Structure 1
Amino acid sequence: MASSPLTGRAASRLPIFRQALASLSAGLLLAASTAHAAPPVLQAQAQGKEVPQLADLVDMVGPAVVNIRTTERSADGPRMPFRRRAPSLQQSDEVPRGEGSGFIMSPDGYVMTNAHVIAGASEVYVTMTDKREFKARIIGADERTDVAVVKIDATGLPWMRVGDVNRLRVGEWVLAIGSPFGFDNTVTAGIVSAKQRETGSELPLLQTDVAVNPGNSGGPLINMRGEVVGVNSQIYSPVGSYVGISFAIPIDEAIRVSDQLKAGGRVVRGYLGIRPVEVSREAAEEYGLTKSRNRGAFVSQVIAGGPADKAGLQPGDIVLALNGKPVDGPVELRRALGAIKPGTPVVLQVNRRGKAMEIKATLAEMPSEAPAASTPERAEPAEPKGSSVGKAWGLTVQPLSDAERRATRGAGGVKVAGVTAGAEAVGMRPGDIIIAVGSTDVTDLKQFENALAPLDKNKRLSLTFLRGEWAQFVQVPPGK
């Protein structure tokens, strides 16, 4: 039998510690009563306001929180050393895989958790606070949002009420219940630190300072009304365990995903067929977007044959609005497109090298795996030949071949034959295709020469170019 963490000298000091803590508490209360302004909790008591009792809250919602453990199949058979220590698995080829948390969504046995909790599992087991254990069936999992739903065969179960995330305020008390490091039914509490926190995930997250550790994943984040407002999902930590920052999936987004999982086992998203990235400050200045309230999204790639390609969207375009709603960056654009039903027509407000235009497209269904990005291959340095009109910036260019022109899907341009000085310094390579100078589109060598002719050769040259299917914007300094 494992020994208690409090043994020997530590246990003997426990009464002394409690006595010191009681004295400290009394001193703090005395100081608060004589201070100019009492802390908010004491003010609430003085004014007759009821302070939330976490113990009562835990009693109310705790039975709806479950432990989730998963197993996976082993190729080694039942003679593994681990099975000799676990008689219940001796006749099985299943070995423990992981452990997490979840909560019951409805009395008929639907349980919500994280997708990463059940990923790769061959069997899922749900254990309730009364120690009843059920073998669960996986209804569906969505890796993009990290939401999953499993089902147990039971009725009349305790279930979690859903709260309104819009009513949740920064600074509001919340608590988490889960199984950190396998310790079932562990309760931790804290406050909401931020809402709509961007972490690069498919969804903006709730940030809290509630202690969340491995095993808490999939458990509920609960407000003081006993309602679930989030699904604990991530922590920010350089060491792999809690250091003060944790994140939860907002419950309204989790419910939206779970409804689709329950209906069809998967989430269907709209797909435009582009790869958006941040708009650089230099590009925003060049195309007159610095006074715009929304940042937009720079189209770095248009997937061949996709809806955007068919609609005429080009690499290098900047999407400013979707169906009239401003786009504040690439993450927001991806989320907005994903939330639209496939087959739906959309209208894009686009800035193409300083010119405003409107493009209409019909969304397809997002593939389960995004098309593999083509990796631009580094071209062998060519013998610099062709026009040297760009030599002040270290550029030698030449006309496109017919095949190269077709590959640009109508954009045209000129091919970089050689780079030195400024062009080399900003990473341009032979084989890159320049499609615009500043806000002027370039379809052939003549247009490129005309665009450069009036420019000050002692100032930076703004270029949009293609490398393979990828568009980039750079400002090339003049050579020294």
Structure 2
Amino acid sequence: MYRSVLFLLLALALMGSMLSRTNAADQAKLYQKVAAASFEVHANGRLAGSGWFAPEKGWAFTAFHVVGSRNKALELHNGKKSWKAVVHAIYPLYDVALLKVEGETPEGLAFEEQFSPVGEELYLYGAPLYRHGVWLPGRVARPDLTYEWMAELKGAIGCFHVAGHAPKGVSGGPWVNSQGELVGLQSGTMSLGNAQQGISFVTPASAMIALLETKKDFPVLSLGCAFEELAEQPPSFLNKLSKEQTGVVLKVVMQDGPLGKAGLQDGDILVSLDGVELKTRNDAYAAVQKLDSKKPAKLVVLRAGDQAKILELAPVKLF
């Protein structure tokens, strides 16, 4: 009996070792595949971020905040190879830029066929802090899309969360699954001050598919502010409100934006937008994108200690 148990334990240990070596070999092949389809983005001789080649020849992607504008001339570097490229179209709501690349491009990354489930292991390829060809692991951390404020764009981005670190320099890099399919593009990170919190903001593949199909800009609307939820606020703020109060709190109100020009300020509460009651930041950001820049929307706004008031104003198009 003792010998049988010992033999079983040794067999399991051997199998585990073999599986580990097989996984490492698969990882090495996956790394080489993704590395061949990726590049570093250089602007005016400086390494600005990462990117990857689309499945359609002659096209590539990076993060919009990496390049910052349309028609910008870039150089793409992959080892000893380099290409000239220009920003052809943008989708700022998802922090994506479509690049038109000169010359023959390598085989690109295929898009995933369906949204990755929570817990699926993903891998990010990029150039963190001027280091080259780095492979970083992560896992899908939520089952749906959300919105996150991005200061560089002065607006919110649509994304999903990945549990994994993404240092500066990997923006625009590809997140792939174990089959090497493109799951998303690295955009931003959850941070407190300068300290990352281990959550990455990743643009979904659907945004890149739409941009590649149309090859045209997608507009993004803004009221000129960020939104926070009531549950995020300190007791000194909440104590001034009734327990039944709903809405989202205005933050980073830009004086030259629609809300700033209307006299609103940080700390005001947006209760509803064009008849849509707001409870979460996602409610607010999604409602803004459904507005019309040529048609005023009705806002119900509350300032602590004052009566709610109704405003009518239109959002503006960014970029």
TM range (shorter): 0.5 to 0.7
Deviation at 1:354, TM superposition (A): 8.1
Q: Counterpart of 2:248 in structure 1: which amino acid?
A: G
Alpha-carbon separation, structure 2, partners of 1:101 and 1:300: 29
Residues 229 and 279, structure 2, Cα contact 8 Å, conserved in 1: no
TM-superposed deviation, 1:57: 3.7
Higher RCO, 1 vs 2 (CA within 8 Å, ≥6 residues apart): 2
**Residues 145-190 of structure 1: per-residue CA shift (max 9 Å, x gap):** 643332102467422233377x333322001122345554433323
Structure 2 residue runs of 5 or longer lacking an equivalent are 1-7, 151-155
Task: Give the Cα separation in 2 of the matches to 1:221 and 1:54.
Answer: 14
Contact 2:189 2:200 in 1 (8 A): yes
Q: Please give the residue correspondences for 1:32-431 in structure 2 after superposition, counting only pairs within 5 Å.
A: 33=12, 53-58=26-31, 60-71=33-44, 96-119=45-68, 123-128=73-78, 131-140=80-89, 146-154=95-103, 157-163=106-112, 167-182=115-130, 184-193=132-141, 200-201=149-150, 202-203=156-157, 205-210=159-164, 212-234=166-188, 245=198, 247-252=200-205, 254-255=207-208, 258=211, 262-264=215-217, 268-272=219-223, 279=230, 280=233, 286-288=240-242, 290-291=243-244, 295-298=247-250, 306=258, 318-329=269-280, 333-334=284-285, 336-338=287-289, 340-344=291-295, 346-350=297-301, 359=310, 361=312, 363-366=314-317
**2:140 is paired with a residue of what secondary structure?**
strand
Indicate the structure with greater strand content.
Answer: 2
Q: Residue 367 and residue 222 in structure 1: after superposition, are their counterparts in 2 closer, same or farther (change >3 A)?
A: closer
Amino acid at match of 1:297: V
SS at match of 2:157: coil
C-alpha spacing 1:343/1:210, structure 2 compared with 1 (3 Å): same
Deviation digits for residues 189-240 of structure 1 (CA, Å, limit 9, x no counterpart):
2323457677643236544454544442211011234322222234568998
Map 1:2-13; keep pairs closer than 5 Å.
Answer: none
CA contact (8 A) 1:99 1:182 kept: no
Distance change in 2, residues 1:115/1:302 (3 Å) = closer
Return the letter of the residue paired with 1:247.
S
**Aligned partners of 1:160 and 1:52: how far apart in 2?**
20
Correspondence for 1:417: none
Give the secondary structure class of the aligned counterpart of 1:248: strand
User: CA separation of 1:300/1:139 partners in 2, compared to 1, >3 Å: closer, same or farther?
Assistant: closer
CA distance in 2, matches of 1:300, 1:273: 8
Structure-2 separation of matches of 1:119 and 1:139:
12
Pair 303,338 (structure 1): closer, same or farther in 2 beyond 3 Å: farther
Question: Given the two structures, how large is their TM-score scaled by the length of structure 1?
Answer: 0.47
**SS of aligned partner of 2:288:** helix
Query: Following TM superposition, by how much is the alpha carbon of 1:107 offset from its aligned partner in structure 2, in angstroms?
Result: 1.7
What's the offset of the Cα at 1:342? Answer: 1.7
Per the alignment, in what secondary structure is the counterpart of residue 337 of structure 1? Answer: helix
- 1:344 and 1:260 map into 2 onto residues whose CA distance is 29
CA distance in 2, matches of 1:182, 1:304: 36
* Letter matched to residue 50 of structure 2: S
TM-score (norm 2): 0.65
Partners of 2:119 and 2:140 lie apart in 1 by 5
- Counterpart position of 2:4: none
* Cα-to-partner distance string for 1:367-400 (whole Å, 9 max, x where unaligned): 65xxxxxxxxxxxxxxxxxxxxxxxxxxxxxxxx
The whole-number CA distance in structure 2 between the counterparts of 1:214 and 1:334 is 26
1:431-466 superposed Cα distances (whole Å, 9 cap, x missing partner): xxxxxxxxxxxxxxxxxxxxxxxxxxxxxxxxxxxx
| In structure 1, C-alpha distance between the alignment counterparts of 2:268 and 2:111, rounded to whole Å | 41
- Give 1:257 deviation, angstroms: 8.8
CA distance change for structure 1 residues 260 and 317 in 2, over 3 Å: closer, same or farther?
Answer: farther
Report how many residues are paired.
Answer: 295
RMSD value, Cα: 5.0
Q: Distance in 1 between the 2:253 and 2:175 partners?
A: 38
Q: Which runs of 5+ in 1 are unaligned?
A: 1-28, 35-40, 72-95, 369-480
Note the alpha carbon deviations across 1:232-267, whole angstroms, 9 max, x for none.
2345689989x8825132225753895699424xx5
Separation (CA, whole Å) in 2 of partners of 1:170 and 1:99: 31
Question: Judging changes above 3 Å, is the alpha-carbon distance between structure 1 residues 360 and 107 closer, same or farther for their aligned structure 2 residues?
Answer: same
Q: CA–CA distance in 1 between the matches of 2:316 and 2:214?
A: 16
CA distance in 2, matches of 1:116, 1:68: 12
Alignment partners' CA distance in 1, 2:126 and 2:251 = 42
> What is the alpha-carbon distance in structure 2 between the residues aligned to residue 349 and residue 210 of structure 1?
39
> Structure 2: which amino acid aligns with 1:203?
I
Deviations 1:309-359 (A, max 9, x none): 78xx977863223344442356753564246442245444555768677x5
